[in-house]
Every structure is written in structure tokens, then in C-alpha cells.
Chain A
Amino acid sequence: MEEIKEQTGHMPRIGEPAPDFEAVTTHGKLKLEDFKGSWLILFSHPADFTPVCTTEFIAFTEIHPELQKRGVELLGLSVDSVSSHIAWARNVEEKTKVKIPFPIIADLNKEVSMDYGMIHPGQSKTETVRCVFIIDPNQIIRTILYYPLTTGRNMDEILRIIDALQTTDKNAVATPANWRPGDMVVVPPPNTQEMAEERLKQGYECVDWYLCKKKI
């Protein structure tokens, strides 16, 4: 058990402050606190110059303008060197005409990877798996996604989660399965019998007292 903990490092949880870091990136030395006030997507990839990762970086670049509209910054990470990241980014631009606009952490000593639980020894003892940490402007972890080495991430889902979290924060509501912006949202469940009875009179679309939806 101790050996596994040593190999995987800390496993962060939703609702906890994001582990602090100061890291060398393709945009210079960055600290977590530099992103305070913005949403941040910190994501790891297994290695530079690999096929699935290349498709993901192109896809992240494609959604970058949409993320910017939502006040979200992107920050990549792998255990490769900054020279490798630069060479890979230049190669991607040369071969696909896609210029990667966001910084990439060169986590050679695995410090950040370990603090964020990005190394899963069952998949690889040396590379990070495909993690996504969505961190809010107060630097609290709001979502964690883990994908295996062989499965590229779904950008629509990442954008959908950002929209859902921002909608939740703005309106104090929850979002149902497969929710998309514009769909009805879920009214938080009542805490008392009186609130449950009142709820049914409020003009919400209710299946029953515990499941009511409204438009926003």
C-alpha cells in the first residue's frame, strides 16, 4: 500500500484547494496563483510526439477561443522537458498549421504530477495518464476526469462541464444528465416538508417534489 502511495503521490479531491505549484513551462515559470481569478483547466498527457496526444493538443487549441470567452485558461503538462515541448509544438504547427496557444508544464521531476495524482502505475509508472482538473477562480478543484492512455479526451464534454459549473455558480441550480446550455436546470431539492409542498406551487416543471426543473 505504501509502495503504491509512493508511486502515485497525493490524490486530490473535488472541493479541495488545488495543490500549489511553481513550474517551468513553455511560457516561462508559472505558479498556480498566477491563474487566480480565472478558471483553469490543468491537463496532463503521457508524452510529446505521440499520436493521441497530438490529436488532443489540436483539439484543445480548437476549443481555446470558446474557453477564452468563458474566462478559462488552459495549462498542459507532461514529464517531458521544455525543449521537447517546444520542439513538439513547433512540429505540430509545421505539419498541421495549428499553433498551440497555451503553456505546457515540463514536469521532469514529476513534482506537479505527484501532487495531482497524475501517475497511475497500473497504466504507466513513468508517464502521466490523461487527467483533466477544472479549477475555479478561487483555485478550488471543481471537476476531475481521468482517461486511459489509449482514449483521447472529448472536448465537447469539457466545454459542457465548464458551462454547467458556471451556470450552477451563477444561478444556484444543478444540471441534469446530458444538459446543454439552454436546457432546463434542476432546482436544488427542498430541505423541509414545508419547502417540498411550496415547491409544487411555484410553477416549476416537476416529476415530483424532489425533481423539479426550471428555465433560466
Chain B
Amino acid sequence: MACISPDGKPTESGSKMLRALKTGLKSPEEISNEAGLPLFRVRSGLRELTEAGLAKQKGDKYELSEEGAKLIK
């Protein structure tokens, strides 16, 4: 897992992506620009964050889940 550590906590890149989602619904491209991560990393990371219940997909965009929002408070 590149965005979630084995202990279930987000990695540095996972945290960057979650922080980028803090301001609302974002596309992978917007997250990539804001987090300074390559788009391919963001796309795979979003799959992980979604599977871990930290982010939610809405159409082509993503937002924080309640769980994700708690983590980056």
C-alpha cells in the first residue's frame, strides 16, 4: 500500500492527498496539482483511500469521508 501504512495510517503521500481533499470535491488532476504528486500516483492512491474508507468517489471526483476528515483534523 502506497497511501496507507500497514498500521492503517496514511503515509506522507496519502496525507497530502487527504489534505488536498479538505477543501471539497476534487478531480484526480486537481489533487495531483495541489498535492504535488504524479497523476498516476494520485489515481492509484485514490483507489486505496476509497477502499480504506477515507475518501469517497462522486462521479469523476473525490471527497473526504467522515473517517478521512477525522484523520486530518
Q: Are B39 and A28 in contact (CB under 8 A)?
A: no
Nearest A-chain residue to B47, judged by Cβ: A29
- How many angstroms from the CA of A34 to the CA of B44 in the assembled complex? 7
A29 touches which one: B38, B39, B44 (CB < 8 A)? B44
Q: A28-B48, A73-B38 are in contact. Are A34 and B2 (CB under 8 A)?
A: no
- How many angstroms from the CA of A100 to the CA of B22 in the assembled complex? 30
Interface residues of A in 16-59 (CB under 8 A from B): 27-31, 33-35, 37-38
- How many angstroms from the CA of A33 to the CA of B42 in the assembled complex? 12
- Enumerate chain B residues within 8 angstroms of A28, measured Cβ to Cβ: 1-3, 41, 44-45, 48
- How many angstroms from the CA of A30 to the CA of B47 in the assembled complex? 10
Interface size on B, residues (CB 8 A): 12
| A113 CB to nearest chain B CB (Å) | 20
Interface size on A, residues (CB 8 A): 11
Instruction: Tally the A-B contacts, defined by beta carbons under 8 Å.
Output: 30
- Enumerate chain A residues within 8 angstroms of B39, measured Cβ to Cβ: 34, 37-38
- Enumerate chain B residues within 8 angstroms of A38, measured Cβ to Cβ: 39-40
- How many angstroms from the CA of A28 to the CA of B43 in the assembled complex? 11
- Enumerate chain B residues within 8 angstroms of A31, measured Cβ to Cβ: 43-44
| B42 CB to nearest chain A CB (Å) | 9
- How many angstroms from the CA of A179 to the CA of B41 in the assembled complex? 34
- Enumerate chain B residues within 8 angstroms of A30, measured Cβ to Cβ: 40, 44
Ordered by A's residue number, 26 sampled pairs between the chains whose C-beta atoms are within 8 Å are A27-B2, A27-B41, A27-B44, A28-B1, A28-B2, A28-B3, A28-B45, A28-B48, A29-B1, A29-B2, A29-B47, A29-B48, A30-B44, A31-B43, A31-B44, A33-B43, A34-B39, A34-B40, A34-B43, A34-B44, A35-B40, A37-B39, A38-B39, A38-B40, A73-B38, A73-B40
Q: A-contacting residues of B (Cβ < 8 Å)?
A: 1-3, 38-41, 43-45, 47-48
